């Protein structure tokens, strides 16, 4: 992602807006903390009011913007338009739930975003997906209708490339081997380990991707994020074995970003 200039100011390395939470409060917080550890300067979490209250207690490093109800609704659009305008990248979907009102709000929010990372509950075929999408195989089937389950990673390459080309976006398909494509180029990433099946590591990846997207092209950001997320998981595994948690992975993001990993 390159070195920061000595004359950098607050916000120059990325302002990230996380839209998530509702049924689940931990998911957007994990994404937000991961974005900070990956180098973002400022991270704001826009979450339903009860989730926002919980998230505000997770870390003093997070800015929290409470929404109006217990899930994302179209009534929140005015607040979110203002927040989107003040941030470089939006990452959305983590823990949002799939209420009809939430889907309606997302359909209006996504087109407003210049740079967007779409994950989890925001990965729906009815929505105008763009930017970078970060599905696992089940979510990829949901948005594309294509089943990749039980296929070796090489057999997944053309379906992933074809979907990325058709939708004019970047796909970061999570798996034992991650596949990343912009519709032309395809990259594979093999960092990571079975301990990363623990809940929350996908939320961590979304946050890292958003932080990198503030400073790089969508393809480069997605490739780098897949590598760093897996490398951080490998470093966490060395200390925690299969007892590692998503928060352990977050703490290993800075050393994973260094060339020597120290």
Number of H helices, E strands in the chain: 10, 9
pLDDT of residue 104 exceeding 60, the answer is yes
Q: Where are the domains of the chain?
A: 15-257
Share of the chain above pLDDT 70, in %: 94
Residue 122 in this model has a pLDDT that exceeds 90: yes
Q: Is the pLDDT of residue 139 over 70?
A: yes
pLDDT of residue 255 exceeding 50, the answer is yes
Burial of 167 (0-12, 13-18, 19+ CB in 10 A): middle
Task: Report the alpha-carbon distance of residue 171 to residue 159 in Å, rounded.
Answer: 11
Query: pLDDT confidence of 180, banded at 50, 70, 90?
Result: very high
Rounded CA-CA distance 134/171 in Å is 6
Mean pLDDT of 234-246: 97
Q: Which CATH class is domain 15-257?
A: alpha beta
As a dihedral over the C-alpha atoms of residue 177, residue 90, residue 65, residue 22, rounded to 10 degrees, the angle is: -50
Report pLDDT for 260. 60
DSSP state of 161: H
> pLDDT-based confidence at 220, cuts 50/70/90?
very high
Residue 49 has pLDDT above 70, yes or no: yes
Determine the pLDDT at residue 2.
57
Q: Quick check: 177 pLDDT over 50?
A: yes
**Arithmetic mean of pLDDT, 195-200:** 96
Q: What is the pLDDT of residue 9?
A: 46
φ, ψ of residue 246 to 5 degrees: the values are: -60, -35
The mean pLDDT value for 60-77 works out to 97
Return the bridge partners of 43, or none: 16
Q: What percent of the chain has pLDDT over 90?
A: 91
pLDDT at 12 over 70: no
Task: Quote the pLDDT of residue 211.
Answer: 99
Average pLDDT of span 110-128: 98
Whole-number pLDDT of residue 7: 55
């Amino acid at each position: 992602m390159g070195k920061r200039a000595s004359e950098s100011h607050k916000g120059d390395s990325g302002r990230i807006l996380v839209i998530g939470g509702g049924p689940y409060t931990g998911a957007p917080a994990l994404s937000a903390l991961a974005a900070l550890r990956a180098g973002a300067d400022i991270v704001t979490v826009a979450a339903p009011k009860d989730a926002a209250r919980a998230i505000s207690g997770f870390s003093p490093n997070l800015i929290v913007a409470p929404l109006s109800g217990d899930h994302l609704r179209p009534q929140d659009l005015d607040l979110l338009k203002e927040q989107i305008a003040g941030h470089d990248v939006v990452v959305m979907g983590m823990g949002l739930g799939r209420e009809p009102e939430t889907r309606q709000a997302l359909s209006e929010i996504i087109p407003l975003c210049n740079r967007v990372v779409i994950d989890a509950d925001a990965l729906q075929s009815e929505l105008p997906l763009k930017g970078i999408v970060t599905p696992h195989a089940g979510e990829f089937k949901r948005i594309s209708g294509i089943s990749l389950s039980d296929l070796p990673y090489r057999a997944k390459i053309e379906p992933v490339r074809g979907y990325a080309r058709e939708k004019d976006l970047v796909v970061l398909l999570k798996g034992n081997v991650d596949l990343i494509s912009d519709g032309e180029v395809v990259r594979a990433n093999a960092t990571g380990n079975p301990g990363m099946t623990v809940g929350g590591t996908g939320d961590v990846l979304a946050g890292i991707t958003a932080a990198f997207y503030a400073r790089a092209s969508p393809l480069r950001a997605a490739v780098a994020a897949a590598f760093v997320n897996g490398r951080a998981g490998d470093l966490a595994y060395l200390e925690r074995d299969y007892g590692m948690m998503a928060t352990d992975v977050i703490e290993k993001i800075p050393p994973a970003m260094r060339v020597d990993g120290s």
